[in-house]
Amino acid sequence: MKLSGMEISWEKLFRAFKHLFSKEGRNTIRRVVRHDLSVPLFMAQSGFSRSYIPDPASVIVEITNRCNLKCLMCVRRYWDTDANPLGEMSYEFFEKNILVHLKPYQHVNLQGVGESLISENFLPMLKACKKLGCWTTFITNGVSLKKYADLLVSIGVDEIKLSVDGTESMKKIRNISISKVTEAIDAVNEAKIKQNRKQPAICINYVLTRDTLPELPELIEIVSTRGISKIIVVHLIIHDAHLIEQSVIPIYSEAKAYFDTATAAAKRYGIDLELPPAPGSKCICYQPFRMIYINWYGDVRPCCMSTINEKGALLVGNLNDSTLPELWNNTYMHKLRKSLITEKEMAEMCVLCPMRVFSMEAHIHLLENGAKDAVGLPSK
């Protein structure tokens, strides 16, 4: 038979229908719906007194804020060490306060400002999330990935995101060589072949700096045969004044030649390349509509820009005092969502946040004013 001009067999159609009505198929549909923002945005924009959203589409769990590297641009290098004690979430805390509230159609990102693979609780947590049916991912610097490649593939993690900054520059920025990362990718690919698995997808997170910009096309060549599905290029977040000179935002137009070469190479190799936004634009921040971030000590935060303890950081509450569903739809979250839609009574951190205002001004504002108290929002 023909469907929208495509030849399709009855057998294939039957299999698709069968999947659609299976438990797994139903979860896939719910996952797609949850990640579609139209319902929560309609509710928030239509002036309902409460922008109630059933569950976060993504739950981000910081298993640990410890790390085995000390990268040049990482927030861990510049944070207040007294306000941000190092530690890790216990499996008991995770099970009692997070796992019991997770739904099979949710995305779970087992990652924070630390390196998840160095925590002994990471694999048990990952197994529990997979057993529940959640779509799981985590970000890693790749140092320990080769060691765990077989295990991760057998557990069925859905996606691994690797932090890569340049090719030659990796040594200067991360003090490891690019070969450490490519060896880890190869180990995951070998494990996939050995176990006859399609997952995990492997993605790359690439921080754009003046050093890493010219190396982007070369990185694409290096990983071109390694089954990378996506490369996400992001602007450098400036956590210290000396990093200002590394930002590519002031020279964005000059960067175009590198972006064009990288785009052509990515297209050639079938890699999905996501480039950072051009300066001058602005958008609505959707993060508090779709995700929640949980620190290892139970603090709950509404976005990726507010993941550490600093004055002015956005804090929804703590899991030792309230449950995850209570916090997800509490007054604080409601006011925050509303402020992002209406652009009124915004928290100081949101006013010129680099996630909604794409300019150098926003990055400098974050650097200089991140320490101010939030305005217009209650602390809980």
Binding site for ligand SF4 (CB under 6 A): 285, 287-288, 302-303, 305-306, 314, 349-350, 353, 355-356
Closest CB 333 distance from ligand SF4, rounded Å: 10
Cα–Cα distance between 358 and 96 in angstroms, integer?
Answer: 39
Query: d(Cα 303, Cα 307) in Å, to the nearest integer?
Result: 7
**Least separation in angstroms between CB 350 and ligand SF4:** 3
Both tokens assigned to 18: 């069968």
Quick one: 89 or 355, whose CB is closer to ligand SF4?
Answer: 355
Nearer to ligand SF4 among residue 162 and residue 285 (C-beta): 285
Residue 5 three-state SS: coil
For residue 339, the minimal CB distance to ligand SF4 (Å) is: 9
Residue placing its CB nearer to ligand SF4 in the complex, 146 or 356: 356
Residue 296 class from Cβ within 10 Å (0-12 exposed, 13-18 middle, 19+ buried)? Answer: buried
CB atoms within 10 A of CB 150: 16
Report, in Å, the least distance between residue 111 CB and ligand SF4: 16
Q: Among residues 238 and 303, whose Cβ is nearest to ligand SF4?
A: 303
Distance of closest approach, residue 288 Cβ to ligand SF4, in angstroms: 5
Q: Residue 23: is it exposed, middle or buried by C-beta count within 10 angstroms (0-12/13-18/19+)?
A: exposed
Report, in Å, the least distance between residue 356 CB and ligand SF4: 5
Nearer to ligand SF4, 76 or 356 (CB): 356
Cβ count within 10 A of residue 287: 25
Q: Which helix (H) or strand (E) holds 231?
A: strand 228-235
Pair of tokens at residue 68: 């085995």
Minimum CB separation from ligand SF4 for residue 301, in Å? Answer: 8
Q: Residue 203 or 351: which CB sits closer to ligand SF4?
A: 351
Output 140 or 306, the one with its CB closest to ligand SF4.
306
75 and 313 Cβ atoms separated by less than 8 Å: no
DSSP 18-61: HHHTSHHHHHHHHHHHHH--HHHHHHHHTT-SS---SS-SEEEE
Long-range contacts of 178-186 (CB under 8 A, 24+ apart): 178/219, 178/222, 180/142, 180/143, 181/142, 182/222, 182/223, 182/226, 183/146, 184/142, 184/145, 184/146, 184/149, 185/142, 185/223, 185/226, 185/227, 185/228, 186/226
Select 107 or 146, whichever has its Cβ closest to ligand SF4.
107
CB of 33 to ligand SF4, least distance (A): 22
